[in-house]
Amino acid sequence: MRVQIASQVVAASLMAGAWMAGACFAAAPATAAGVALAPHRAVYDLKLLKSHGKRSVEAVRGRILYDFAGSACEGYALQFRQVSEIDSGEGKVALSDLRAATWEDGDAKSFRFNSENKVNEHVVDTVDGSAGRDGSGVSVKLVKPQPKNFDVDAKIVFPTEHVRRVIEAAAAGKTLLELSVFDGSESGDKVFSTLAVIGNAIGPGEKLPDDAAAGNATLAGLKRWPVTISYFEQGAAKAGEQTPAYAIGFELYENGVSRALSLDYGDFVVSGTMSQLDLKDAPACK
């Protein structure tokens, strides 16, 4: 059970990392989609928020570290790592270690992804692949875990484009946004239906943050929205109301910075507190 839970954490972390590849940005030159993104480096401290269901978890502690770089002109690159210790109450602690890297071009036409995850220092799986969009659809080429070529619906979005769409929806006053997303997570060959629920805007000066976002001059004058994104695996059997595979919650600033993470794995929920934030200047477009 400990390995199963740890693997569950790693799989959902890939989705979190893919989302955060776009979701924790600061002000930068506007992209073609009108959303400003910029490089940054952030650290999130993880702990168990609550546990329920049949697979009990007594404690979780860990850290997310990622480094985002690039621009709308040269594309966006993310180096992501999440290390988590999961105590299932059976006298031992399982250690999950996920490392992932992604790249997406500014026009959301090309996407590259690779990841490796370990549980108790044993490699569980590796994923390596790329995806490209043309006029007729999106083609995916997997190198690992097994060579595989396949096509997905042209309407899918890649992770950074997903973020842009959520920000645009929030700014327009929308409360719901449904999109199909391909992010290279899990086995690298899955498409997820997503539902973003967007709460009421929090204005500048309201509900002041108490984490690394506190006192940041870039964020001080911006509003933000509470957002929860649920991921549903396409093609999974449906019986009654479908249950999401995972859900990710956060507060999203209008320029893209995210704070107050919540990672819902179904049987337990982990919170992520931003302990460090380093906003960088975006490289100038040539």
pLDDT 10s digits, 186-214? 889 999 999 999 999 999 999 999 999 99
- Quick: pLDDT tens for 223-274: 999 999 999 988 665 545 678 888 999 999 887 778 999 999 888 899 999 9
pLDDT at 123 over 60: yes
- Quick: pLDDT tens for 154-181: 999 999 889 889 989 999 999 999 999 9
Strand partners, 130: 112, 141
Is the torsion defined by CA of 155, 161, 166, 171 positive or negative? Answer: negative
Q: pTM for this one?
A: 0.85
In this predicted structure, what is the pLDDT of residue 169? 94
At residue 94, φ and ψ (nearest 5 deg) are -95, 135
Average pLDDT in the chain:
83
**Alpha-carbon span 100 to 125, nearest angstrom:** 12
What SS3 state is found at 163? helix
In this predicted structure, what is the pLDDT of residue 282? 73
What SS3 state is found at 16? helix
pLDDT at 27 over 70: no
Radius of gyration over alpha carbons of the chain, in Å? 18
The two tokens of residue 73 are 């002109």
In this predicted structure, what is the pLDDT of residue 12? 54
**Alpha-carbon span 163 to 106, nearest angstrom:** 12
